[in-house]
Structure 1
Amino acid sequence: MSTNNDNKKEFIIAAAIRRFAHYGFSKTTMNEIAEDVKITKANLYYYYPDKTTLVHDVILSVTDDFRKQEQDLIKKSKSSVINLLLDLLDLKSAFIERHYMLHMNENMEWIKGAPLQTLMRQIHEKEVIEVAKLFQKGVDNKELAIEDVHKTSEMYVYLMKSIGLVGILCDVFTGIPTQCNVGDVLQKQKDATMLIYNGLKFNTVSN
């Protein structure tokens, strides 16, 4: 029975992602999602009692999908840490372009509620852990000189998100929430990554 429930939830989440990706969270109604899945609104509420619960699972599903792509890239990569970081930024930029309306909204009103704040905190912590693994690899390969890998990783993640947030706020201020500045944000993130890398780069000094 739980398998059937899980399958039905997957259909609902997929339909919700399509709706949210076009119209955002606020402008999408539960009734529209129910119509897309071809179930009654009452049936939809059996699986998801409110939109916040559905948004939670949508963000989790989309993030899990990105993490799988990220891990696949890391496993296949033969690049240095800096090139891998830049490749991961390219991957994330493409992800944001594909799910732009989700990205816009997850930084706005919808994450103010406790359940979504908890989820976003967990996603942030996982991101820091993954970056720490890459930085530690750089330290082990004598590519990077870092004393506190976790602290450096946390700061790097905060900086990348801050650059992304500035790009989003620019859209909000102009009243034109388009995808046109995603490439500009990506370039700034790459520039910042190179600055950070050059500061952390391991330099052999003769004794």
Structure 2
Amino acid sequence: MGSPLRDMPQEWAVTATSTPFTGAKTGVVTDEVVMPDGSTARRDYQTHPGSVAVLAVDDRERAVVIRQYRHPVRHKLWEIPAGLLDVPGENPRLAAARELYEEAHLEAARWRVLCDIFSSPGGTDEAVRVFLATGLTRASGERYAVSEEEADMELDRVPVADLVRGVLAGELQNNALAVGVLGYAAACAGEGLESLRPADSPWPARPFTGTGD
């Protein structure tokens, strides 16, 4: 194989750019991009602050999952706790711990990075870091009030093996859940969970400062 087996940063020249839409958290950008043959092509994409997701696994090999309505795809999906990186430069592990607390009212003693992904690189710059959280305990304090889609949210614990089967059968389609459970299964079958990257490993797609301690 001629090139290294890793994704490499690269940026083609842009001759013009505009922002047709700016929302509360995301927007749409239109770029005129110079192609390798010298022509230009229009590329529209969604800008996104980035996200974190948490595969939280208990001592019975069950993962914490949420069932939530997602209007763009007109489905109620089984997912893992996840949320936006609301604060620029925020430590992603702290953001993940916040989402685990808010959505499942849980805390975790141990954190590792499972996978870093671009959710749909042809249409958005969203980057997602999927964490593994273990050593789960019930969080102290009051639960957050829920509203809108979250008011209809269901919470459960499901054996990881059942989630793997559901993903491979095409019955579970959330990308963070699929990446999380398949990554977990691959790590367990390979070099083990201790081989996973530390929770505060660098993330070039969404740089952050501090360690989260």
What range is the shorter-chain TM-score in? Answer: under 0.3
The structure with the greater share of residues assigned to strand is: 2
Which structure is larger by alpha-carbon Rg, 1 or 2? Answer: 1
Alignment TM-score, normalising by the size of structure 1: 0.27
The structure with the greater share of residues assigned to helix is: 1
